[in-house]
Amino acid sequence: MASPRSKHVPKLSALATLLFLVGSAVGGEIKWDSERLKKMASAGTKVETLKMPRRCDRRVGAHDKVVFHYNRMMVTGEKIDSSRDRGEPMSFVVGWGKASKEWEDAVNNMCIGEVRQVEMPGEDGMSTILVVDLIDIQAPPPTPNVFKLIDKNDDKQLTKKEITAYLTGRMGLEKAEETDFIKKVFKEEDKDNNGVITMEEFSGPKQPHTEL
């Protein structure tokens, strides 16, 4: 299945940005409920349910894998894109940073079988209309063991050298920016300020798991 790509890296904490690079996210950072829909509406995003199933046993939440068809068009009715035209539904895992904010907002709190129209105000003043038909909600793939990916010598602690080696070439930062970013990671994670981040201190994923 195809997957909509994120247009930008969201503004996150240093750790969350680090996790973003391996396709993960910090659990609990985003709330997926009716409150976010209200905020979307107040921000100018219009959400309208076109069809609701008779039963809704489960709604889309953080870390769910969503599978859906969509039509995307201008407010003038001009079609931009359609998954049905390609005969292939879209899919992504909510909150993992693989889809842009507009896609995640579009499926927020949806039920299987629900059809929703979302009007997103554009930067150029032209709104985009998304009509989303949610087909399925699935368990996400296992969360990567981020700590182990960085801890190359497997000594159960992360050094600045290991994090620097992991980041090299991944973020496209200047040397000074990279140094500043690593300082932020250690400020957040190195609780005892001893220059290393232990497995106990690290608040990101440490073991692969499949829980929702």
* Alpha-carbon span 127 to 120, nearest angstrom: 5
Task: Calculate ∠ Cα 32-119-54, nearest 5°.
Answer: 60
For 72, the enclosing helix (H) or strand (E) is: strand 65-74
CA of residue 112 relative to chain centroid, distance: 20
Of 123-127, 168-172, 184-188, the poorest mean pLDDT is in 168-172
188: burial class by Cβ within 10 Å (0-12, 13-18, 19+)?
middle
Stated pTM of the model: 0.54
Beta-strand (E) ranges in 123-178? 128-138, 157-158
Beta-strand (E) ranges in 78-166? 79-82, 90-93, 115-120, 128-138, 157-158
- pLDDT at residue 170 above 70? no
Collapse the DSSP code of 73 into the 3-class scheme (helix H, G, I; strand E, B; otherwise coil) and give the result. strand
- Stretch 100-114: mean pLDDT, rounded? 88
pLDDT value for 12 = 43
Dump pLDDT digits (tens) for 36-88: 555 555 555 678 899 999 999 999 988 899 999 999 888 777 889 999 999 99
Dump pLDDT digits (tens) for 128-139: 888 999 999 998
Q: How many CA atoms lie within 13 A of 37 on its CB side?
A: 16
pLDDT value for 51 = 94
Percent of the chain's residues with pLDDT above 90: 31
* Alpha-carbon span 118 to 47, nearest angstrom: 5
pLDDT value for 110 = 95
All domains in the chain, ordered by first residue: 27-138 (3.10.50.40), 146-198 (1.10.238.10)
Mean residue pLDDT of the chain comes to 77
Most confident residue range from 23-37, 46-60, 124-138, 195-209: 46-60
